[in-house]
Structure 1
Amino acid sequence: MKISSFRDRFREQLQSQYAVQEIDSIFYLLTENYFGIKRLDLALDPSAELDENQEKQLETALERLRNAEPVQYLTGKSEFFGMDFEVSHAVLIPRPETEELVQWIIDDQADAHGDILDVGTGSGCIAIALAKNLPKMSVQAIDLSEAALEVASKNVENNQVSVQFRKDNILEIEDLGQEFDVIVSNPPYVRELEKASMRPNVLEHEPKMALYVEDSNALIFYHKIAILARKHLKKNGALYFEINQYLGPETSNLIQEIGFETELKKDIFGNDRMIKATFK
């Protein structure tokens, strides 16, 4: 079958889920990742054919896409802050909003020396981006998931930075082991009541323990991390969070009650998305 004919098959099968331009982008991303065939190659040779194995591979990909699986899990790759990251079902796919949080930290800490802790590191995207762009800082990261830490370790190696990882459940520990200049976290914050508004690609495929919290205790991670930060941040240190856009004031108030001053910041879409907390 011609590659262009299989592209048309993608358009037909996925038209209820994606716009045509997005379908084409996904298709060409797959042909490049699977076979090394770029969009330009196909434009120069529109009669190019797929062999039987390539057809089977694309058919499998099409079925996974029909089941709303994110294309990043098909390729095993995602981009974040200008770097390539391996991803699997053990980690969340890095989001553009999180890049804004990372940029905020880099802007604040551009000339700083010291120690950073990333809580709930997942793919390692926050920790690695900070290590890459703040070379005077030493970066550590923790996560509950052994599988996530394996992915993060590969990303450290691939991006040639230094990050020290350890396995810990932040809700169960009472001591971080040292003081830090920066503590950052993008913890689980999606309430059960918000599931109905989420896209199937997130709801059905990304790791639940990295996403969801109970409606009755939606700020559990913010409370625990802020309590630990109160004890383990250095005098002029800062705590940064990505937050649930619907709980901006509530999250700020909680952190203030623990003894911090807070700055609530919106993302490029105008949603409350991140908080910086410093000592009063």
Structure 2
Amino acid sequence: MSLSYQQLVKNWSIQLTQYESTEAQNLVNWLLEHHLGLRRVDMMQFLEEKDLSKELKDDFYRLKTGEPIQYILGKGPFYGREFKVSPATLIPRNETEELVHLILKENKSSNLRVLDIGTGTGCIPITLDLEMKNSEVFALDISIAALEIAKENAKTLHAKVSFFTCDILSENPELSELDILVSNPPYIPIEEKGQMHANVLDFEPDLALFVSDEDPLIFYQIIAEKGKKLLKSSGRIYFEINERFGPMVSGLLENLGYHNVRIIQDLNGKDRIVSGHLSG
């Protein structure tokens, strides 16, 4: 049986009931492009049933269960590059691209020393290394499985990033004289689980998402405290944050003696980044 590409997208997207119509169509297009090499510009092309492989149909079934397409395909886009992902890592998101873009815009000097804490796929340090001039970039994570993915991404994308295992809550990185400290740490309190989509809850790693309700700012507190020793006197700190915590994280930095502390909103108008300078 033959059907048009357009009809296939329509038939499949209406089955993705957990997504809005436009997002569902985008996901089906992404899946078909991956398997068939076809894009939306090919919508008038007709397909035969035999063109739809078992692997494609199996992947569509996984999509219907709510599994993120990045895990299905094993990759996701970030800042114009493809990054390998796995269930051990968070999926790179647009908000984190905004964080990286801000760092690049505000730090144009060469030979900067940078540390990313809680690196996941390595999308932050790898991008910074590739976009900065002669930078020296380090990244840490508590998850050995995540670090393996990050190392693969660095190798594939030809980035020079030094990765190491570290539990930032209980260990001190053996680094100093950093120009930039950046982190997108776990920042979702357990109490917010009920407000989250199943495709995040059921598939992305709890370790990288959640903090206790009793101490939701623990990572910001510990990282900012250790940042005072890790950073040069002229160093800068950048955090991605839960939109609820802007004033609290900025107040935390100010109480620790950071200067020029700012809350920056993302493209959706939500508080998303807090930054500060170690000296005034």
Is the shorter-chain TM-score for this pair beyond 0.5, marking a shared fold? yes
Name the amino acid aligned to 2:170.
E
Q: 2-side partners of 1:200 and 1:276: how far apart?
A: 31
Aligned ranges 1:27-46 → 2 under 5 Å: 27-43=28-44, 45-46=45-46
Q: Deviations over 1:91-124 (max 9, x none)?
A: 1111111111111111111124221000000001
State the partner residue of 2:13: 11
Q: What residue in structure 2 maps to residue 279 of structure 1?
A: 278
Change in Cα spacing, 1:151 to 1:8, as seen in structure 2 (3 Å) is same
* Distance apart, 1:257 and its partner CA: 1.7
TM-score in terms of structure 2 length: 0.92
CA positional deviation for 1:198: 1.2
CA distance in 1, matches of 2:129, 2:84: 17
Number of aligned pairs?
276
Separation in 2, partners of 1:221, 1:90: 19
Distance in 2 between residues matched to 1:181 and 1:12, nearest whole Å: 49
Q: Report percent identity of matched pairs.
A: 39
Q: Which amino acid aligns with 1:108?
A: E
Moved more, 31-40 or 225-234: 31-40
CA displacement at 1:22 relative to structure 2 = 2.7
* Residue in structure 2 matched with residue 110 of structure 1 by the alignment: 108
Gaps of 5+ in 1: none
Q: Secondary structure at the match of 2:15?
A: helix
User: RMSD over aligned Cα, in angstroms?
Assistant: 1.8
Runs of 4+ in structure 1 off by over 6 angstroms are none
Q: Where in structure 2 are the equivalents of 1:167-178 lying within 5 Å? A: 167-178=165-176
**CA deviation after TM superposition for structure 1 residue 240, in Å:** 0.6
What's 2:145 paired with?
A: 147
1:179: Cα distance to partner?
2.3
Distance in structure 2 (CA, Å) of the matches to 1:100 and 1:108: 12
* Superposed displacement of residue 176, structure 1: 3.2
| Structure 2 segments unaligned to the other structure (5+ residues) | none
Asked if the contact 1:176–1:228 (Cα under 8 Å) also holds between the matched residues in 2, the reply is: no
CA-CA distance at 1:25 after TM superposition = 2.2
In structure 1, the residue matched to 2:48 is 49
Query: AA paired with 1:160?
Result: H
- What is the TM-score when the length of structure 1 is the normalising length? 0.92
Question: Which among 202, 205, 220 is matched to residue 207 of structure 1?
Answer: 205
Q: Kindly provide the amino acid, as one letter, of the partner of residue 18 in structure 1.
A: Y
Equivalent residue for 1:198?
A: 196
**In structure 2, what is the Cα distance between the partners aligned to 1:160 and 1:248?**
35
Query: 1:267, 1:169 → 2: CA distance?
Result: 28
